[in-house]
Amino acid sequence: MKPIHFTSIVALSLFQSALACSWIPIPFCETSNARPAEVVLSGKIVHVDMDGIDLEVIDVLRGVESRDTIRIWDGTDFDCNGLFSMAASDLGGLNDSIIVVMPLITAVENTWDVLGDYRRPDYFGHNTELSINNGVVIGYITGHASSPVGEMPYPDLLALWNDGTGLCSGMSVEGMAQAPPFVAHLVHSMLNLTIRSDVGSTSTIRIHAANGQELVAVNGVPGTTLIDLSGYAVGMYQVVLVQQDGTRSSTRVMKL
């Protein structure tokens, strides 16, 4: 009986180990909900080395971070039916833009750790980062695994985030169906504006630099308008729609 008993224990252990290393993917919004103490921000990767990456901050979505550039160090690799890398460089390559939820380093785990910097977030079963490509956020943002939301203009994500509590609570499939008066997409250096048909033809579109300086003012007619921003520097721009009755709606676009 002992050999049979021992075999049963081994089989049970292997079964439990397999269960421990399987999961149903959790989207970015739900991941950020589950980690309210962690900072969420968007940024551009400006340096990659063997121990981590440097991220130039674009927007702080949650938490407090005043630095222009932050450091994300590699985490601690772990084994779960195979080695899982915790290299920060897996978040993206040089010049890639990402949104990431990540923990502050408050205790040293590895020789390269620096207190007050950030560590690669634990992604086991969770989606901790999204990529930004030509102004569009790509990744498992929210929704059920059977019908995920996997793509969204970056300004729309910011607007939905800010409509909630900062924890993605305003970001639902139903909420995305409520269209704002206009949508702005920046593809390379060309700003594509789509204004709803019920917006008055005497409206004005104004584009401001990050310092508040007004750069462009054009008639905001319903339909699609293209504005060339190739003559302006890389950075964040605010697009404001001012309707005839004084109602103002705004969003931001990021020129990479």
Domain 28-153: which topology?
OB fold (Dihydrolipoamide Acetyltransferase, E2P) (2.40.50)
For 52-77, how does the pLDDT look when each residue is reduced to its tens digit (9 = 90+)? 999 999 988 888 888 889 999 998 87
* Residue ranges in the chain assigned as alpha helix (H): 2-20, 28-34, 154-163, 173-176
CA distances from 57 to 37, 65, 89, 107, 228 (A): 19, 9, 16, 23, 25
Residue 170 is predicted with a pLDDT of 45
Strands (E), 94-234: 97-102, 118-119, 129-133, 136-142, 149-153, 182-187, 190-195, 203-208, 214-220, 223-228
Residues in the chain predicted with pLDDT less than 50, given as ranges, are: 1-20, 165-167, 169-179
For 5-46, how does the pLDDT look when each residue is reduced to its tens digit (9 = 90+)? 433 333 433 334 444 455 567 889 888 888 888 899 999 999
- This prediction's pTM: 0.59
Residue 163 is predicted with a pLDDT of 63
Boundaries of CATH 2.40.50 in the chain?
28-153
CATH number of 182-255: 2.60.40.10
